[in-house]
Amino acid sequence: MSWAVLLNTDEMSVIMPVLIQQTTLGRKMAKSESKTPIETKSMQTADKAIPMTDEQKFFFDLHGWILLPSVLSTTETKEMRSEVYAGAKQSYDGALQRLLDHPAIVGILSEILSEEPFVRDDCYSFRCEGSFTTIRPPGWSKLERGDMGLPHVVRPPQQANPMRYQVAGEKIFSGLTRVVWELEEVKAGQGGTSFLSGSHKSFFNYGGPDPFRPNISESPWESSMREAMSEYSCPAGSVVIFTESLIHAANDWTNPKNPRCAVFNCYNSVWAQWHKLNLSHEKIKTMPLKRQSLFRGTWAIGGGPSGNHQYSQENRTW
């Protein structure tokens, strides 16, 4: 068993322990396991996704985010981190491309962004909307961001919109969903992403003058909400998954031992789109066929008997 700990950033006291079942998903690999299917078939998609557990569903629904520690091997983490430090801006090339459909996240994304009739072997049941990397050296300030680190969401979950988090019939629909791969160690209170856990299901607005505003600006409760936000600690090679309906924020990177080096990938259902994808057809065609399906068009029915299962230049996300 491994403990992913949620911490109060002011007092650094434990709020709630989140128990994550430890498998090859969340532990260091033994020497005899030095090669994974992804390492030995670097440009192939994962053969078998790891299903989302009932425990993960419970805590994802409760908090709006989960942490999977030590998903990547030391070798994978070092290789991918080197690509980011060498200048990679997205995860569409090299070893980083394997993060798009890593088996540790495929089962979870299938569970929270799709439903059984749309889960198939020949394509993914969700789409990738974008990717970017970040390097934040010690001393990096959130004021360097356009939003200046203001806690925000994609759209307020109190309003009817296709991006919001929903649960119906014991089925999660996460809406726009972010997957963050931490390629350096993160220590709580020293600059990782922070979350206002549970805010993805809030029925009330954030106290500001505009109920449609997707952030907490001008709210008289801003300081109280910031004090209630949780952060995480994790080793390099871990992954955080959260719904963008959850209030979250960037923070000053104060860890003196290492920069923050992370990959932020965004996903959505095959029925909704938020971002315009800036990715060429030529780039997508270099990927394995199943991975290409992450970038197919945004529709479900009406395209002929084969349905929306394959990527093509005519059937792509714009």
pLDDT in tens, 154-203: 998 888 788 999 999 889 999 999 999 999 999 999 999 999 999 999 99
Asked if 221 contacts 207 with a C-beta cutoff of 8 angstroms, the reply is yes
Q: What is the CATH number of the domain that holds 105?
A: 2.60.120.620
3-class DSSP assignment, residue 107 = helix
The answer to the question of residue 30 being in a domain is no
Identify which of 240, 256, 230 has the alpha carbon closest to the alpha carbon of residue 10.
230
The answer to the question of residue 27 being in a domain is no
**What is the per-residue pLDDT across 102-155, written as a single tens digit (0 to 9) for each?**
999 999 999 999 988 778 888 999 999 999 999 999 999 999 998 889 999 999
How many residues are present in the chain?
A: 318
pTM (2 decimals)?
0.85
Asked if 245 contacts 155 with a C-beta cutoff of 8 angstroms, the reply is yes
Q: Which of 67-81, 115-129, 166-180, 205-219 has the lowest mean pLDDT?
A: 115-129
At 240, give phi and psi (nearest 5°). Answer: -115, 135
The answer to the question of residue 85 being in a domain is yes
Relative to beta strand 177-182, strand 260-268 is: antiparallel
The rounded radius of gyration (Å) of the Cα atoms in the chain is 19
The answer to the question of residue 286 being in a domain is yes
Instruction: List C-alpha distances in Å: 167 to 111, 164, 194, 200, 289.
Output: 12, 10, 23, 11, 31
- 314 Cβ contact partners less than 8 Å away, ≥ 6 residues apart: none
The answer to the question of residue 312 being in a domain is no
Residue-averaged pLDDT of the chain: 85
Start-to-end CA span in the chain (Å):
42
**Residue 55's CB: how many other CB atoms inside 10 A?**
13
Helix H or strand E segment including 105: helix 103-113
pLDDT at 124: 94
Asked if 193 contacts 145 with a C-beta cutoff of 8 angstroms, the reply is no
- Per the structure, the count of domains in the chain is 1
CA 14 – CA 32 distance, rounded (Å): 36
Q: The domain containing residue 284 runs over which residues?
A: 45-295
**What is the per-residue pLDDT across 3-52, written as a single tens digit (0 to 9) for each?**
343 433 333 333 333 434 333 333 333 333 333 223 323 344 555 899 99
- Angle at the Cα of 174 from the Cα atoms of 169 and 176, rounded to 5 degrees: 150
The answer to the question of residue 12 being in a domain is no
